[in-house]
């Protein structure tokens, strides 16, 4: 029996997961991370803390499953995208990692568009420059921390720092690499034009690999720390969204992945590098060789509900809150919620966007407010959905839903009703870590390709059918919701 280890370095924790050659999850463990926000709009973490969490999770999952380390054939990596990890010539971390949800870099985004030309930048990278991406973070360090920048020699993403600690190799997969927005999307590799224009040394950027390719092997030092066997192959893997798409089987055009985690994501595989002309959708390489994908991202999806509960109803469980919302009619009787608690990315790339309840009256209860939060997130995802449909995707045959926000029946039903599409759940619930393990299995020949691996291990387990009776209420609410950001944009800027 062959076994494959998937490692997911997320914002909140490091997960280790082991599957067998049939795709059965045998064990999974997580170790938490801490998050730092030393200034407004900043979001940082210590990469060394990731490594300690990974060590702990690997040790625990090996103990939990009672599998010998020599039986683990390969390791796949995934993790939070876009974060900037800078290392010096000795491989030492130079400063805390700047994360995907950090919003300090709008001036650098404007600088990128001015230097490259916004249309040209979209044409090359498939995206506009946004504060969450890696490229503007590099420029921010150059301009604000020159003493750090002059010592920098390597640029890595979060999971690739773990790869370096495991293997001693500097490497990156093509899906996560394209998320730096320093890629030539068509060529599936670094853009010399972008690097040269922005003054970022080419030698800082690691070689890139397709998701199942082997990038290195576990060193003796890493083996001693983790309990793994030396020389265990480590495959490229993918950023959390691409690996998560593999983990739910969204690896063919027409199958769309919907994730309601801290952030919300609509993920659509494309057979070629399609680009939304205004860059309102992210266009990246897939972790599946030879495929690309569209992605719409809202920054505060389940994070909105988490904030709402922690701020206004800390004494209540999520189940208690959602139970109150079940009796509220669709549309929350005219109450709307804007989920822009961390700014926004799709379709409004604006770090200054703010959250809001709109339409509060004396008749609205806590149940109304809870349901409005759920509906507001669904409307934000519908914004992404509509853009993808209008940007060249030929058809959507199935929506596969995952993430903590889709576990509750009420939120699943709201999503199905707002999107007017059947949602399906699948037998795999471990997302990116499972996808990373599958990519490792493909890399070692357990399956002939990623699509075969997904067909043989991932199966539909449930469906949520939309209720047409709720369409009129949600269409009317969404029409008003769609008008709110344009009306409030100047107000958000004044509140800065």
E strand or H helix at 173:
strand 172-173
Would you state the pLDDT for residue 395?
76
Question: Residue 252: which residues within 8 A CB-CB, separation 6 or more?
Answer: 269, 451
pLDDT digits (tens, 9 = 90+) for 301-337: 999 999 999 999 999 999 999 999 999 999 999 999 9
Would you state the pLDDT for residue 1?
85
Query: Could you tell me how many residues make up the chain?
Result: 496
Would you state the pLDDT for residue 68?
94
Q: What angle do CA 485, 490, 496 make, to 5 degrees?
A: 105
Distances in Å between the Cα of 64 and the Cα atoms of 23, 28, 122 are: 17, 8, 47
Contact 304, 262 (CB under 8 A): no
Q: Which residues are catalytic?
A: 240
CA-based nearest residue to 419, from 467, 462, 461, 482: 467
Would you state the pLDDT for residue 6?
98
The segments of the chain whose pLDDT lies below 50 read: none
Q: For 306-327, what is the HEC assignment? A: HHHHHHHCCCCCHHHHHHHHHC
Question: Residue 342: which residues within 8 A CB-CB, separation 6 or more?
Answer: 101, 103, 299, 300, 303
Tokens of 396: 């959507």
Domains of the chain: 3-241 (3.30.420.40)
The pTM assigned to this predicted structure is: 0.87
Contact 232, 72 (CB under 8 A): yes
Would you state the pLDDT for residue 394?
65
Cis peptide bond upstream of 459, omega within 30 = no
Would you state the pLDDT for residue 393?
77
Concatenate the DSSP letters of all residues of 354-407 into one string.
--EEES--TT--HHHHHHHHHHHHHHHHHHHHHHHHHTT-----EEEEESGGGS
pLDDT digits (tens, 9 = 90+) for 169-221: 999 999 999 999 999 999 999 999 999 999 999 999 999 999 999 999 999 99
The whole-angstrom separation of Cα 339 and Cα 357 is 9
């Amino acid at each position: 029996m062959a076994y494959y280890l998937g490692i997911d370095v997320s914002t909140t924790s490091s997960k280790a997961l082991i599957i067998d050659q049939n795709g059965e999850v045998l064990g999974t463990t997580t170790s938490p991370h801490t998050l730092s926000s030393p200034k407004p709009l900043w979001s940082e973490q210590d990469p060394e803390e990731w490594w300690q969490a990974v060590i702990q999770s690997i040790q625990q999952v090996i103990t939990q499953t009672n599998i010998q380390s020599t039986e683990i054939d390969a390791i796949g990596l995934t993790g939070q995208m876009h974060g900037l990890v800078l290392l010096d010539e000795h491989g030492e971390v130079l400063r805390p990692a700047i994360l995907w949800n950090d919003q300090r870099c709008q001036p650098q985004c404007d600088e990128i568009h001015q230097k490259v030309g916004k249309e040209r930048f979209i044409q090359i990278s498939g995206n506009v420059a946004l504060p969450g991406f890696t490229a503007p973070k590099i420029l921010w360090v150059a301009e604000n921390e020159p003493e750090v920048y002059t010592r920098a020699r390597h640029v890595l993403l979060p999971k690739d720092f773990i790869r370096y600690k495991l293997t001693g190799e500097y490497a990156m997969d093509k899906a996560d690499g394209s998320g730096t927005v320093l890629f030539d999307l068509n060529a599936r590799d670094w853009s010399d034009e972008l690097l040269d224009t922005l003054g970022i040394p080419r030698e800082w950027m690691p070689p890139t690999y397709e998701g199942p390719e082997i990038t290195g092997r576990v060193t003796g030092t890493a083996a001693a720390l983790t309990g793994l066997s030396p020389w265990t192959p480590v495959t490229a893997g993918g950023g959390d969204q691409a690996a998560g798409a593999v983990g739910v089987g969204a690896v063919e055009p027409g199958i769309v992945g919907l994730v309601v985690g801290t952030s919300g994501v609509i993920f659509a595989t494309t057979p070629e590098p399609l680009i939304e002309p205004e860059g309102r959708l992210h266009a990246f390489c897939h972790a599946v060789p030879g495929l690309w994908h569209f992605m719409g991202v809202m920054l505060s999806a389940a994070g909105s509900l988490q904030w709402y509960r922690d701020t206004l109803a800390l004494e209540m469980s999520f189940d208690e809150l959602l139970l109150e919302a079940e009796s509220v009619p669709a549309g929350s009787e005219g109450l709307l919620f804007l989920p822009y608690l961390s700014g926004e990315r799709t379709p409004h790339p604006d770090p200054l966007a703010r959250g809001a309840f709109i339409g509060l009256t004396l008749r609205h209860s806590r149940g109304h407010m809870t349901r409005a939060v759920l509906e507001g997130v669904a409307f934000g995802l519908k914004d992404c959905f509509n853009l993808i449909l209008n940007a060249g995707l030929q058809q959507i045959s199935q929506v596969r839903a995952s993430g903590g926000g889709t576990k509750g029946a009420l939120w699943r039903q709201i999503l199905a009703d707002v999107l007017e599409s059947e949602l399906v759940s699948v037998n795999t619930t471990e997302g990116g870590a499972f996808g990373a393990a599958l990519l490792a299995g493909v890399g070692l020949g357990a399956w002939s390709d990623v699509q075969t691996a997904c067909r043989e291990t991932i199966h539909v387990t449930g469906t949520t059918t939309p209720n047409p009776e709720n369409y009129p209420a949600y269409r009317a609410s969404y029409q008003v919701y769609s008008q709110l950001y344009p009306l409030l944009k100047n107000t958000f800027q004044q509140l800065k």
